[in-house]
């Protein structure tokens, strides 16, 4: 559970929205109009840019930082947030988040509303806090990174035609029966663990996204990462474990080991996949994870504007049926 310390009230005049038009399952064409309605010219100087290719968000963010833009708003999913936030660490610019992706892990962890209008109101009325960020070798991450099964799922999911929870679950089910655990050595601050692991997740935030809480006790501002190791899982255990994952009780599973550490070294027998905030990347046999405390300024909601569990569930149900509509549309067009 996060205990965020508010640094200051928002005192921003210049705001730049960076919109990823292909993130998530819904269209983004109505967002510019909503921005103009809520951020009036007498209080804010606002502009909007759209990403046009992979990596474009990084370029747009570097430009915004060089122009001393007060607040840079990521409109997209965790991949978009990662690209933007990774170029804002240790700067005076403040990150705003409009969740418009599939999992929206960082937004959920920070209790930012998943509704677009309410998320914009957070940027208007919220407060600025500082959160930790992490590096896995040279790659920045803000939610989670991991090796093993979740890395494989991220690769399959990223290559799929559809985004959303249905596609995510499809990737999990299709890969589960084929997956074979690997041998790892995990070096922590004061302990070395050797295990044949189903997955190893380093969690700066409490969840992957989709309300899948892999590290329910993780705190994004404590200067440490929660290292979650799940040993080999028997097929009959998969269902109960999935329920625990989505009910914030995975840490009660006897197949799970969790440690908190400022630095983590993962050693494996061969190079392979790792996911970085849900994006699959190729990594070597040795991966060093470090936590940098209070390195990023972020707009977060004040108590009255936080997303409630009920509001998140309603949003997820709406997104589910929207995604289902896309799947049905594809089937009927065959």
Q: Are residues 114 and 30 in the same domain?
A: yes
Q: What is the per-residue pLDDT for 327?
A: 41
Go through 17-35 and write b for each residue having 16 or more CB atoms within 10 A of its CB, e for each that does not. Answer: bbbbeebbbbebeebeeeb
Give a yes or no: residue 282 inside a domain. yes
Helix (H) or strand (E) holding 32, with range, is helix 31-38
102: how many CB neighbours lie within 10 A of its CB? 26
The bridge status of strand 286-300 relative to strand 144-148 is unpaired
Q: What is the per-residue pLDDT for 334?
A: 47
Give a yes or no: residue 247 inside a domain. yes
Q: What is the per-residue pLDDT for 12?
A: 76
Give a yes or no: residue 159 inside a domain. yes
Give a yes or no: residue 89 inside a domain. yes
User: What total of structural domains would you count in the chain?
Assistant: 2
Q: Are residues 287 and 225 in the same domain?
A: yes
Q: Are residues 322 and 271 in the same domain?
A: no
Give a yes or no: residue 83 inside a domain. yes
Give a yes or no: residue 322 inside a domain. yes
Q: Are residues 15 and 106 in the same domain?
A: yes
Q: What is the per-residue pLDDT for 324?
A: 46
Q: Are residues 84 and 207 in the same domain?
A: no
Q: Are residues 105 and 197 in the same domain?
A: no
Q: Are residues 277 and 235 in the same domain?
A: yes
Q: Are residues 64 and 169 in the same domain?
A: no
Q: What is the per-residue pLDDT for 5?
A: 58
Give a yes or no: residue 75 inside a domain. yes
250-to-64, 208, 234 alpha-carbon distances in Å? 40, 13, 16
Q: Are residues 287 and 298 in the same domain?
A: no
Give a yes or no: residue 1 inside a domain. no
Q: Are residues 253 and 285 in the same domain?
A: yes
CATH code for position 326 = 3.40.50.10330
CATH code for position 195 = 2.60.200.40
Q: What is the DSSP letter of 5?
A: P
Q: What is the per-residue pLDDT for 169?
A: 62
203-245: pLDDT as tens digits: 999 999 888 899 999 999 999 999 999 998 877 887 888 889 8
> Cβ contacts of residue 182 below 8 Å, gap of 6+?
147, 148, 196, 197, 268, 269, 272
Q: What is the per-residue pLDDT for 90?
A: 97
Q: What is the per-residue pLDDT for 328?
A: 46
Q: Are residues 226 and 200 in the same domain?
A: yes
The answer to whether the CB of 283 falls within 8 A of the CB of 127 is no
What is the domain range of residue 233?
A: 139-291
Please give the distance of CA 269 from its chain centroid, rounded to a whole number: 28
All residue ranges of the chain with pLDDT < 70 are: 1-11, 25, 157-175, 177, 304, 308-309, 312-334
The answer to whether the CB of 213 falls within 8 A of the CB of 281 is no
> Looking at the chain, which runs of residues are DSSP E strands?
6-9, 14-19, 45-50, 71-76, 94-99, 127-136, 139-141, 144-148, 182-187, 192-203, 225-231, 256-261, 263-268, 272-276, 279-283, 286-300
Q: What is the per-residue pLDDT for 27?
A: 75
Q: Are residues 181 and 222 in the same domain?
A: yes
């Amino acid at each position: 559970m996060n205990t965020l310390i508010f640094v200051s009230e928002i005192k921003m005049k210049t705001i730049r929205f960076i919109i990823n038009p292909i993130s998530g399952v819904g269209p983004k064409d109505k967002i510019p109009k909503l921005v103009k309605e809520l951020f009036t010219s007498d209080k804010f100087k606002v502009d909007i840019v759209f990403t046009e290719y992979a990596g474009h968000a990084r370029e747009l963010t570097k430009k915004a930082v060089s122009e001393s833009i007060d607040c840079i708003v990521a409109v997209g999913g965790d991949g978009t947030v990662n690209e933007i936030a990774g170029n804002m660490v240790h700067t005076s610019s403040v990150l705003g988040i409009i969740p418009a992706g599939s999992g929206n892990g960082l937004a959920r962890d920070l209790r930012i509303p998943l509704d677009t209008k309410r998320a914009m109101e957070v940027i208007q009325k919220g407060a600025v806090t500082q959160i930790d960020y992490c590096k896995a070798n040279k790659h920045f991450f803000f939610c989670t990174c991991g090796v093993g099964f979740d890395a494989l799922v991220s690769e399959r999911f990223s290559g799929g035609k559809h985004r959303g929870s249905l596609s995510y679950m499809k990737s999990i089910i299709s890969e589960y029966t084929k997956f074979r655990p690997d041998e790892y050595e995990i070096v922590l601050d004061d302990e070395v663990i050797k295990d044949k692991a189903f997955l190893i997740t380093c969690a700066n935030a409490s969840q992957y996204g989709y309300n899948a809480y892999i590290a329910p006790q993780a705190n994004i501002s404590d200067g440490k990462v929660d290292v979650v190791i799940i040993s080999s899982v028997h097929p009959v255990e998969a269902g109960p474990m999935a329920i625990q994952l989505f009910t914030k009780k995975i840490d009660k599973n006897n197949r799970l080991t969790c440690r908190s550490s400022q630095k983590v070294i993962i050693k494996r027998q061969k190079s392979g996949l790792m996911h970085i905030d849900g994006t699959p990347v190729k990594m070597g046999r040795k991966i060093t994870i470090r936590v940098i405390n209070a390195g990023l300024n972020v707009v977060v909601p004040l108590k009255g504007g936080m997303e409630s569990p009920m509001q998140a569930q309603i949003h997820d149900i709406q997104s589910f049926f929207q995604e289902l509509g896309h799947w049905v549309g594809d089937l009927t067009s065959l």
